[in-house]
Structure 1
Amino acid sequence: MTSAPPADARGRTRRSRGDSRRGDSVFFNLSRGSGILLLVIMAAIAGFLAYRSFLALGKNEGNFLTTFEWAPDAAKPVFGIAVLTFGTLVSALIAMVIAVPVSVGIALFISHYAPRRIAQPFAYLVDLLAAVPSIVYGLWGVLFLVPHMDGLTSWMDEYLGWTYVFDQSSSGVPARNLFTVGILLAIMVLPIITAVTREVFRQVPRMHEEAALALGATRWEMIRTSVLPFGRPGIISASMLGLGRALGETIAVATVLSTNSQLSLHLLDPGGGTFAQNIALKFNEAQPLGRDALMASGLVLFVITLLVNGAARMIIARRKEYSGAAA
């Protein structure tokens, strides 16, 4: 028979359990309050943008979705987002097509190929690129990237011009176009995608990798069968983070891109525009109606961002079986 613990010990145990439960309750309420606060802030932003958009759209003389012109302060206000929508989506798509494969390759090199003495400095260097201000990227783009794009655009016009998309109808002008902007955005989002993807690859269970190697798989076969399936949800999440920055980038795009109200499928021709760039360039000089119109375009960008992130969450939810760490 074991003797019962002393009364003071039982009391200390009860107090300890009570403190732990109170701590759990406080932490739970703080976490729930933080989540509710985030939803309230998002709803407040959406409500403010919707209200200002309603004021502007009621005075618009054109179709907001299909009009190319942006003149909300004219005698007859006319403004539309056709050019802005095209420029925003196309430049972001170009950036993602370039950045995602390169980022995955860099992440694999750092996590599975490079020796530790090389991987660590290389990882720090890639992370450091994320801290470079947007204006620095913009200045580098307009002073270095644009002048050196002539050879590439000429080559693409000669050999890929048959696609119409890469047909350069106006030669001899600086390459301040959506294709150049897409390359610049790819460089800017590359550190974000690489950093997240690298950390996901490092979480691959060691047993999965060793089992593949023990069965005679080469290093690439091990990566293809163990690492990439495990990291697929992480790659998608990292890509969506990068896409969010590409959609909302302002200063760098405004510095490089030559704006006009013409919508052209020739990506190598100067011109175009994005939502963020248009807001940044025209907000200070806009009249009250013009600012409301810019708010309306900001609401569209807000909705696009929500739809993109929602689609990413749906994709990840469907592919949890690949992660190897599903709950």
Structure 2
Amino acid sequence: MMRGRAIKRFAWSDNFFRRLTQACALIVLLILAGVIASLIKGSIPAFQAFGLGFFTTVVWNPVTEKFGAGAPVFGTIVTSAIAMAIAVPLGIGIAVFLTELCPPSLRRPIGTAIELLAGIPSIIYGLWGLFVFAPFLQVYVQPSLIALFADVPVLNSLFAGPPYGIGMLTAALILAIMVLPFVASISRDVFETVPPMLKESAYGIGCTTWEVVWNVVIPYTRVGVIGGVMLGLGRALGETMAVTFVIGNAHKISASLLAPGTTISASIANEFTEAVGDLYTSSLIALGLILFMITFVVLAIARIMLMRLEIQAGR
């Protein structure tokens, strides 16, 4: 009898735990569906007024109620792409150094310093970027870039114009600094999961450190590394305050990376409190929907890549 009661109690608790976790998962889906529905409902007036041209139009004029998402979308994609192009190689390089080359006495201090960078509030990055980093770029870096690439085709357009200090390049560099700790920390953690026997075997047959990292460590941990990169990309796409301080907040598309620009998050943060008309508010909500769509597409692509890697590993 006691055994039967214990079995019933265990069955009840197991069923309760299963139902509880299922409810938590459904709540997450309901919240996500609610967010999507709210964004779609709020953006309908903007899409009815401007149609698909809203995605490509650059004009943003609250006075005449002419709005377009071209400049914010362009700024979001460009700054995030530049930030990831800088942060990913540096982050993976830092992770390789910490796991394979760094002396034990320096491993913990350097690792702690990198993790502390991830804990700094974004507004602090913005203030530092505006008052310290942007003036430094304006005086020492941007004039040198303009002079260096003045006679180089294509590059002279990317680095043209007066050195404002603030602009697309400055925002991308700030984003790279903010994303770097995520890529480096996650890459270091997954690199440490590589079985020592695999690396020792590679060293035993005469492989160099570079060959061990390239042929053993990275292939073994590529799923985790890609996950860390996608996490950093998600932060770069949605970052608001730090970018708002240093990008210039100009609704225009320029070929020069030194020119001011804007992003979706920065546009929403700057103008939502001033949106007095229904169409103005709807246009800002439509920007939020576009940012959600961009993030969703990026994460979906990352998930597909991970699934393909897992299938290849299984084979």
Is the structural similarity TM-score above 0.5? yes
Superposed, 1:156-195 pairs within 5 Å as 156-161=145-150, 162-167=152-157, 168-171=159-162, 173-195=163-185
Q: Which residue of 1 aligns with 2:25?
A: 35
Secondary structure class of the residue paired with 2:54? coil
Check whether the contact 1:178–1:267 (CA below 8 A) recurs between aligned residues.
yes
Superposed, 1:1-327 pairs within 5 Å as 11-12=2-3, 15-60=5-50, 63-71=53-61, 73-74=62-63, 76-150=64-138, 151-161=140-150, 162-167=152-157, 168-171=159-162, 173-268=163-258, 270-289=259-278, 290-320=280-310
- CA distance, structure 1, for counterparts of residue 308 and residue 289 of structure 2: 29
Structure 1: runs of 5+ lacking an equivalent: 1-7
Structure 2 residue identity aligned to 1:27: F
Check whether the contact 2:161–2:256 (CA below 8 A) recurs between aligned residues.
no
- CA distance, structure 2, for counterparts of residue 85 and residue 65 of structure 1: 8
RMSD: 2.1
Check whether the contact 2:190–2:221 (CA below 8 A) recurs between aligned residues.
yes
Check whether the contact 1:232–1:322 (CA below 8 A) recurs between aligned residues.
no
Q: TM-score, normalised by structure 1?
A: 0.88
**As a proportion of its length, which structure holds more helix?**
2
Identity across matched positions, percent? 34
Moved more, 201-210 or 101-110: 201-210
Check whether the contact 1:166–1:267 (CA below 8 A) recurs between aligned residues.
no
Moved more, 305-314 or 115-124: 115-124
Structure 2 residue identity aligned to 1:92: S
Q: TM-score, normalised by structure 2?
A: 0.92
Check whether the contact 1:126–1:191 (CA below 8 A) recurs between aligned residues.
yes
Aligned length: 311
Rg (Cα) greater in structure = 1
Deviation at residue 34 of structure 1 after TM alignment: 1.8
Structure 2: runs of 5+ lacking an equivalent: none
Check whether the contact 1:139–1:252 (CA below 8 A) recurs between aligned residues.
yes
Over 3 Å counting, the alpha-carbon distance change for 1:166 and 1:274 in structure 2 is: farther
- CA distance, structure 2, for counterparts of residue 170 and residue 134 of structure 1: 28
Q: Which residue of 2 aligns with 1:4?
A: none
